[in-house]
Structure 1
Amino acid sequence: MRKINFSAGPTGLPIQVLKKAQEEFVNYKNEGYSIMEISHRSKTYEEIHFGAMDKIRKLYGIDDSYEILFLQGGAHLQFAMIPYNLYQGGVAEYVNTGVWSKKAIKEAKQIGVDVRVVSTSEDENFTHIPDVNFSDTADYAYICSNNTIYGTQYKILPKTKSPLVIDASSDFFSKPLDFSNIALLYGGAQKNAGPSGVTIVIIKKELIERVMDDRVPTFLRYKTHAQNKSLYNTPPTFAIYLLDLNMQWLLDNGGLDKINQLNIKKANLLYDIIDNSQGFYKGHAQTNHRSLMNVSFNIVNSKLEQSFVDEAAKNNMIGLKGHRLLGGIRASIYNAVSLEDVENLADFMREFAKKNG
């Protein structure tokens, strides 16, 4: 029996995607080989590679002014690649909304960027997305759109005159986005887009030429990967194959509008239980800043939290232990987590509160 996976990432993939990959694993489309075994220069693989890019364009409605790159190294490498490529010697402005923002800020400072933290909610343990006013002249403005640990999410993206850079690792492909003010959007695939191993960067083409410092290594230049259509080195071919299947799954299920409606319904189900638990459960994020992807909460009697995790595991639900920095419980309800899965968790939460309240 498959587990219901509420892990923050890597997390579950849609069962339809996994079954399709299983069907084709040894003998891809009766070609006599696995995708894992063939050259990334082959026509067979290139159809998958560029097909995945086309599906991403279709899902987000991205025009030709953007380049789609398949890279490696996860968000951690992007923390360095972004300033290496976009910093012009002025100021880079960041909003600090949690661990991943802090890591990005630290990395930028480490390579000599003049970082200005224009807003933070750290003094309130990152319970909300702080108000922010970016300047008009920053080299770039940086946010993390969803925070996996603290369970907060931007409901409306800030408007900026400076190029807006977004770490969307944990709410990638979970809802439609207006790209009119987005200069660079990136994320690891392992939450909503596919397995770990591939990082997707969607970048305005005009920014690709921006890198000015000759000391930036060839591999760390967006221009290198754009000119080579993300085939400069051997890409993570099997991860991109699964990404392609996952993008098709989203299209087959109504696209980002439909998945967003479902994600809202799933999140509301859990938040309603938390809010109406008569003080048994307590959500971490402020109500207007709650994430649709990561529901972080505590049991007011904290001694019960480990029992909650253990009993949930016995009921086929895994990945519910909160992050070590926050503790408590965290249910990550990414695209592949079905409404039925969330209903099972909701039933368990009600019963646990009734039994222990």
Structure 2
Amino acid sequence: MSRIWNFSAGPAALPQVVLERAQRELLNWNGSGASVMELSHRGKLFMELAARAENDVRELADIPADYAVLFLQGGATQHFAQLPMNLASQGDSADYIVTGHWGEKAASEAAPYVNVHVAAHSRDTGYMQLPPRASWALDPRAAYVHYTPNETIHGVEFHEVPDVGQVPLVADMSSDIFSRPIDVRRFGVIYAGAQKNIGPSGLVVMIVRRDLLERASRPMAKIFRYADHAANDSMLNTPNTWGWYLAGLTFEWMKEQGGLAAIAARNDAKAAKLYRAIDSSNGYYRNPVALDARSRMNVPFTLHDDKLDALFLQESEAAGLLALKGHKAVGGMRASLYNAVPVEAVEALVAFMQDFAARHG
């Protein structure tokens, strides 16, 4: 069976060369005679892999020494709760900027551990635009400010890092991490589930300013404390070795692509090509998001007649275009254009959309 063009929102496409290398190495990784999944995470070979992956990600994102890089588990959703446990003391408040489903969930899951203050939201627009920075009611005494730079479901994205003063900025970058250069120094914490731009699901990469690791003052088990994970090189317990390995291969692939600047240029071109096809369709296809908030990673769109949705999905899948169904909260279609989705995939999607409109116009 030939490979298809995968537009899934997550778990999402991985670079084919990464998958092919993992396939070659599956039974005999690094001359060990065993799979990487079968070897001790504390053995020399895996420790070297872990160090190389961290070095590569530090190089890619220009991460300074005063930030720790952690390879954790639980998905971003677990860290919605774990972050306030580590960054806020009993009675503290934190500001949340809510611009979609995942921002809402982050605030909800944090509520048992910190006084959540929604400092800005865009619910009244159906999450189709971003709240103007001037409208944010930030508290300078907040433990941190949390936001979601890219919302996968609604397809909105911050194109600049917001200025929140001296309060640590915490970003759930699950769906846009490493899609463009990052000024890590603007953040207190960056965290991301791996299954969009890094690797398989089940792994979380966290970049955290080291001084924030000392904040956790409430009683908690060591497994929940980021400082303990950092002190043990992310091996406080047995890590997701397979996910870590594939993430390392993906970091190598990113470097081979020319780094994050080159990846950003390709992502911009892919998104522009798809938005251009939507906007030039004379209303056959529509994207509901405000122009200045359109996501480069997740492009939702509707057809002029929703009665055609099922046929569009049936024909697109038959044409080798996978996972274009929009989220149930929004409906319509959604194409996710993560790093591993090649330009050729977007070209194939645009050609199909134009052909479909010509045949069912």
- Do these two structures clear the TM 0.5 threshold for a shared fold by scoring above it? yes
CA displacement at 1:137 relative to structure 2: 2.1
Structure 1 residue 288 corresponds to structure 2 residue 292: yes
RMSD: 0.9
Cross-structure match for 1:238: 242
Matched, 1:30 2:24: no
Return the offset for 1:354.
Answer: 1.6
1:342 partner letter: V
Aligned to 2:121: 120
Percent identity at matched positions?
42
Question: Could you tell me which residue of structure 2 aligns to residue 107 of structure 1?
Answer: 109
1:87-166 maps to which residues of 2 (within 5 A)?
Answer: 87-88=88-89, 89-111=91-113, 113-132=114-133, 133=136, 134-160=138-164, 161-166=166-171
Map Cα deviations across residues 231-269 of structure 1 (whole Å, 9 max, x no partner). Answer: 010001011000000000000110000000000000000
Q: Write out aligned runs for 1:164-313 (5 A).
A: 164-214=169-219, 216-313=220-317
Q: What amino acid sits opposite 2:252 in the alignment?
A: Q
Equivalent residue number for residue 50 of structure 1: 51
Give 1:49 shift. Answer: 1.0
Tell me if the contact between 1:297 and 1:330 (Cα under 8 Å) persists in the aligned partners. yes
Cα distance in 1 for partners of 2:245, 2:37 equals 9
Q: Give the distance between the partners of 2:109 and 2:73, measured in 1 at CA.
A: 17
1:323, CA displacement in angstroms?
Answer: 0.4
Q: Secondary structure at the match of 1:149?
A: coil
- Deviation, 1:155, is 0.5
* Structure 2 residue 21 is the aligned partner of structure 1 residue 20: yes
Q: Give me the whole-angstrom Cα distance separating, in 2, the residues matched to 1:90 and 1:209.
A: 16
Q: What is the number of residues matched between the two proteins? A: 355
Match of 1:332 among 336, 357, 361: 336
* Alignment-mate amino acid for residue 21 of structure 1: A
In 1, the alpha carbon distance for the partners of 2:183 and 2:163 equals 11
Deviations for 1:124-168, whole angstroms, at most 9, x for unmatched residues? 110012123333221100000100000010001111220000000
Q: Decide whether the 8 Å contact of 1:151 with 1:284 is kept in 2.
A: no
Letter in 2 for 1:153: E
Q: Which residue of 344, 351, 354 corresponds with 2:348?
A: 344
- The AA in structure 1 aligned to 2:288 is H
Q: TM-score scaled by structure 2?
A: 0.97
Cα distance, 1:180 vs structure 2: 2.3
- CA shift for structure 1 position 35: 0.4
The separation in 2 between residues aligned to 1:327 and 1:53, in whole angstroms, is 39
Give the unaligned 5+ runs of structure 2: none
In the alignment, structure 1 residue 320 sits paired with structure 2 residue 321 = no
Structure 1, unmatched stretches of 5+, are none
Normalising by structure 1, we get a TM-score of 0.98
The whole-number CA distance in structure 2 between the counterparts of 1:15 and 1:92 is 41
